[in-house]
Amino acid sequence: MADSARVDAWLWAVRVYKTRSAATTAVRAGHVRVNGERVKAAQPVRPGDELRVRIAGFDRILVVRRPIAKRVGAAVAATAMDDCTPPRDPVPAFARRDRGAGRPTKRERREIDRLRGRDD
């Protein structure tokens, strides 16, 4: 087993991205940082490295436990990293509307604004 792996291959192998090309594209776009620094796709990652991966507007914080370069099963992938991502804030109940409910009425809109703290 190697002591390091390419960052794009590792992200693909531990199932952060569905394809290797998607992982490479994300690294090139600057969505991946290793130990706080932007890197290139061929940057090696070693055990103990911290990766910050921006996906869908949120950062995932992953710590490399074991470098792997080949795609593995989900159970093995979970042992290759520590996910230190803090939990996201839940979406407030008032921000959700039933699908197909249409636009809010003027009264409903005022109530939503009041709950959000926008008293104009």
pLDDT digits (tens, 9 = 90+) for 5-40: 999 999 999 999 999 999 999 999 999 999 999 999
pTM of the model: 0.73
* Spatial separation of the C-alpha atoms in residues 3 and 36, rounded to whole Å: 21
Give pLDDT, residue 118: 76
Q: Coil, strand or helix: which one is 64?
A: strand
> Looking at domain 5-83, which of 3.40.50.300, 3.40.50.720, 3.30.300.180, 3.10.290.10 is its CATH number?
3.10.290.10
Residue limits of CATH 3.10.290.10 in the chain: 5-83
- Rg from Cα positions in the chain: 20
